[in-house]
Structure 1
Amino acid sequence: MRIGVFGAGGMAEALGGQWVRAGHEVMVAARDHAKAGTLAAKISARVGTWRETADFGEVILLAVSAPSVTEVLAAAGKATAGKVLADCTNAVGPGAVLTVPDQAARIATAVDDAHVVKAFNLCHVDVWRMTPPVFGGRPLAVPLCGDPAAVATVSGLVRDIGCVPLPAGGLDRARLMEATMAFMVGLWFDGHDAQACFPPLAG
């Protein structure tokens, strides 16, 4: 599959690198073209502009800062039409407060005929660098919110990094994922063991 990656930070490196290793073709775009080129060389990907990368990708990973998403999508223009956009952004400010309470829906209104899937936003970047992300013998489960066809596409990319896709409803439920992320991050920042809130059920 051809995957476009918007962004050249940690999430772009971690997920883009995983997908290259899984045999996908990846192209990277960022505001700083030199930084995008450095990342592309590091993970054996290509580099392009926003529009070129959107044209290239069947799926586009949105791994830019939350405030810049709409600007980036505007720069990509109609090249995102019909594409699956995997949104891993988190609009969180100081104190783990959501600055945009419905980020995925905001993205969906900013694009023409694209299919937004909320995904990969619940874990620290170091988790996505693990090969594979497995904890106590259990592969990481990755919730996905979006329309069924787009979720099915992103589910394949989740499996390719050794995780288990967890279809979690339509894009209207993405706000619950975003709020969960902010709540759990707040607990971690306060020094609590947030994972202990979700003990596994006995089989």
Structure 2
Amino acid sequence: MRIGTLGNGMMAEALATHWVKAGHEVMIGGRDPGRAAEVARRVGGTAGSLTEAASYGDVVLLAVPAEVAVEIAQLVPAGTTLIDCTNALNHSDFTLAQPATAEEISRAVPGVHVVKAFNLAADAVWRNPPAGLGVPICADDGLEVVAQLVRDVGCEPIPAGGLVRAKLLEATAALAIGIWVSGGDVRAMFPPSEAAFGTVPPG
């Protein structure tokens, strides 16, 4: 699979490293050609401009600051699957700073298959994810493609509903990050599914 990244920061590098190892061709796109080339060299991919990376393949990772995400997403041609891993956070109180980014992107580029994924953890987690880590995915189209890329990172895809639910995933990130920053353990919030919801009847 051919994958372009819009952004050449730590998030793009962490995910692209796994995808190259899984046999995918990756182009690192950035405004700074030198920085893009440096990251591409480390991950084993190629480098290009944002425009070149946006049209490089069938899948594009949007890994830029949330405040410019909608603008940069408009470089992506129709028919492409776009993975949005951004979180528009107000870092003073860890609330959402704007409406759901993924839905705003989808409205701005109606021909693109926008998928929300990889937004619940920082780049350090994706560099060496714990075995069995679940990655929620919100998508109307492109779910199976992104699910395979989640597996290529060494994680388990968790279908979380259509793109309309991306706002819940983004709010979950805001809640979780706020708890982590205050020293809490988010994992302690969630009991085993049987305890939380009981046994689901067959059929």
The TM-score, its normalising length taken from structure 1, stands at 0.91
Which letter does structure 2 place at the counterpart of 1:38?
Answer: E
Partner SS for 1:107 = helix
- Equivalent-residue separation in structure 2 for 1:140 and 1:189 (angstroms): 20
- Equivalent-residue separation in structure 2 for 1:113 and 1:20 (angstroms): 27
Does the 8 A contact of 2:82 with 2:113 survive in 1?
A: yes
Corresponding residue to 2:163 among 154, 165, 171: 171
- Equivalent-residue separation in structure 1 for 2:112 and 2:73 (angstroms): 11
The alignment status of 1:123 with 2:121, answered yes or no, reads yes
Task: Report the alpha carbon displacement of residue 198 of structure 1 after superposing the two structures with TM.
Answer: 1.2
Task: Report the alpha carbon displacement of residue 133 of structure 1 after superposing the two structures with TM.
Answer: 2.9
User: Superposition pairs for residues 4-153 of structure 1, below 5 Å?
Assistant: 4-74=4-74, 76=75, 79-94=76-91, 95-130=93-128, 132-134=129-131, 139-147=132-140, 149-153=141-145
Unaligned runs of 5+ in 1: none
Which letter does structure 2 place at the counterpart of 1:33?
Answer: P
- Equivalent-residue separation in structure 2 for 1:182 and 1:73 (angstroms): 22
Unaligned runs of 5+ in 2: 196-203
Does the 8 A contact of 1:80 with 1:112 survive in 2?
A: no
- Equivalent-residue separation in structure 2 for 1:2 and 1:124 (angstroms): 24
Task: Report the alpha carbon displacement of residue 85 of structure 1 after superposing the two structures with TM.
Answer: 0.3
Percent identical among aligned pairs is: 48
The alignment status of 1:192 with 2:189, answered yes or no, reads no
- Equivalent-residue separation in structure 2 for 1:165 and 1:194 (angstroms): 19
The TM-score, its normalising length taken from structure 2, stands at 0.91
Partner SS for 2:180 = helix
- Equivalent-residue separation in structure 2 for 1:28 and 1:41 (angstroms): 10
Task: Report the alpha carbon displacement of residue 71 of structure 1 after superposing the two structures with TM.
Answer: 2.4
How many correspondences in the alignment? 194
Runs (4+) of structure 1 exceeding 2 A deviation are 199-203
Which letter does structure 1 place at the counterpart of 2:86?
Answer: T
Partner SS for 2:139 = coil
Task: Report the alpha carbon displacement of residue 202 of structure 1 after superposing the two structures with TM.
Answer: 6.0
Q: What does the per-residue CA deviation read over 1:100-159, in whole Å, with 9 as the maximum and x for residues that have no partner?
A: 1211001111214000000000012111001x531xxxx011110011x40111001011
Further displaced range: 29-38 or 116-125: 29-38
Which letter does structure 1 place at the counterpart of 2:135?
Answer: V
Task: Report the alpha carbon displacement of residue 70 of structure 1 after superposing the two structures with TM.
Answer: 2.2
- Equivalent-residue separation in structure 2 for 1:57 and 1:177 (angstroms): 26
Task: Report the alpha carbon displacement of residue 201 of structure 1 after superposing the two structures with TM.
Answer: 4.1
Does the 8 A contact of 2:62 with 2:73 survive in 1?
A: no
Does the 8 A contact of 1:67 with 1:91 survive in 2?
A: yes
State the Cα RMSD in Å: 1.5
Which letter does structure 2 place at the counterpart of 1:66?
Answer: A
